[in-house]
Copies of this chain bind each other. A is one copy, B any other.
Amino acid sequence: MKKRQSRSEERRHEILMAALSCFSEFGISGSTIDMIKERSGASVGSLYHHFGNKEKIAVALYTEGMNDHYARLKKALEETQSAELGVKSIVVTFINWIADNPEWARFVFYSRSQVAQIDKDEALKQGNREHWGMLKEWFSPLVKCGAVKQLPPECYSSIIVGPAQDYARRWLSGREITDIREYIDVFSDAAWLALKP
């Protein structure tokens, strides 16, 4: 019984990984079903049986990737009280996730807009909302009590992860060679300097 299930699960996972590798390398529209078929070893029919169409593979991939990141972040923040450590923790978690999942990160960075267009008001936004809700919940008390500089709410995330994200994009595309992890302190310091009261 378990075997049957796992066979199917295996297939699904193989396809997902193959798709990630393609999407990360060529983007969604630059990847063809045939390429995913080739890299996964599954048949065309199997791809469609499991996911319905190419876009849905992308959405599944995106969701899974973001959920992982969200989960890491949630865990990190739950263990943190001080504003400084919290802000830095966001940067650190962000950078570590990227370094641990470069293909996923490349996919998320470069294909976000397409996935968003596909998903139009569905699961994606849901996850997103939860994520931002969680962040807000963590942040607003600190802002109120003056532990973090008061700024327009929609600017915080940009200031915190913007620098690391900019470097990550360059690094993931090969334009920078130094591993982003070497700059964890640089970018988390920068974030905190910009936000400390």
Give residues in A with beta carbon < 8 Å to B. Answer: 27, 29-30, 110, 113-114, 116, 151-152, 154-155, 157-159, 161-167, 170, 173, 175-176, 178, 182-183, 186-187, 189-191, 193-195
Contact = CB atoms under 8 A, between A and B. Distances in A.
A116 B173 contact: yes
A157 B167 CA distance: 9
Chain A interface SS verdict (over half): helix
Nearest to A168: B158
A183 B30 contact: no
Contact of A154 (B116, B157, B167, B194): B167
Contacts of A193: 193-194
Contacts of A151: 186
8 contacts: A27-B114, A116-B175, A154-B176, A157-B166, A158-B164, A158-B167, A162-B162, A191-B194
Contact of A190 (B154, B189, B194): B194
A173 B113 contact: yes
A191 B158 CA distance: 12
A161 B155 contact: no
